[in-house]
Amino acid sequence: MSDIAVQASGLGRAFGELWAVRGLDLEVARGEIFGLVGPDGAGKTTTMRLLTGILEASEGNASVAGFSIRDDDEAIKSRISYMSQRFGLYGDLSVEENLRFYADLYEVPRREREPLEERLLGFSYLTPFRKRMARDLSGGMKQKLGLACALIHKPQILFLDEPTNGVDPVSRRDFWRILYAMLKEGVTIFVSTAYLDEAERCTRVALMHRGRLVRCDTPQKLKQGIPGRLLELETARPRDAREALASKLGWNRVSLFGGMLHLYAGDDAEAGQARRILQEAGIDIRSEKTLTPTLEDVFIHQVTRDEETAA
């Protein structure tokens, strides 16, 4: 069995003249959590739908679980699960009835169903709610039930499209506990997320922008890839300060985080230049400190740089 769970080469999808995904090259190893991060419209959902055989590729190819998405899509579907942003739970069925419905759908052998059901209910902390109608569950509980249903046939690869979007922090934490438990059992997890703190939990992270994969590496290496120093500046006029710095240093070098400015300075000389720019604009720096970059810093730096280049 290959060590590669997912491999894409030049993969793309066009809708008319608009390319939602273009020239996508990536590899996902078996037994890793691979994170896909990008803004709305970056191509994350289209990528998921291409890899799961829901959409046909306009260019390139990919293999999932060792099978081509162009020639063996049915073989792929029996080996994966895909939990979309609107996973199809049935509100008029109870928690356990939803699980049994998906067991029927995936033709899970009847002798395996009861232990699987009990295990998944325990994993997802839903055992006390097994008789509750799905429509009466909280948002977080619905997502955990959706995940349990997606795991009922023991897939090799699990595709999750922003599974915790809009879910409360406690349920998000529980959700990731379940994912780590599945990872220990050898399930490969391919997840897109809008939460950069969640991306930190992934083995590797791919940053997508405008339908293209722009960076892919471990979270630690991505954070080390920002050149120079990341400075946090506090001023009384953060928006004016950003305008002043961006007009001289470039929009990809400075961003707002709440009321604080984050500045990418290539060296001490550039940091000094930034201080002079603010001084000339009549803006005092109340405090300054050097930060360790987060994935959010990396992402904003990359996206603003690409937008500046495109402009």
Structure tokens at 26: 């990536």
Whether the predicted pLDDT of 300 surpasses 80? no
Give the lowest-confidence range in 104-113, 166-175, 179-188, 270-279: 166-175
pLDDT for position 170: 85
DSSP per position, 24-53: EEEEEETT-EEEEE--TTSSHHHHHHHHTT
| Contact in structure between 51 and 6 (CB atoms under 8 Å) | yes
| Percentage with pLDDT > 90 across the chain | 56
Helices (H) and strands (E) in the chain, counts: 11, 14
- Span 126-139, mean pLDDT? 93
148: Cα within 13 Å, side-chain hemisphere: 30
Any bridge partners for residue 12, and if so which?
A: 59
pLDDT for position 20: 96
pLDDT for position 307: 63
The letter for the amino acid at 256 is L
Mean pLDDT of the chain: 90
Whether the predicted pLDDT of 2 surpasses 80? no
Please give the Cα distance from 151 to 177 (Å, whole number): 14
DSSP per position, 120-145: HHHHTT-GGGTTSBGGGS-HHHHHHH
Spell out the domains of the chain, with CATH numbers in brackets: 4-222 (3.40.50.300), 227-292 (3.30.70.100)
Whether the predicted pLDDT of 308 surpasses 70? no
Could you read off the pLDDT of 15-66 as tens digits, one per residue? 999 999 999 999 999 999 999 998 888 999 999 999 999 999 999 999 999 9
Whether the predicted pLDDT of 1 surpasses 60? no
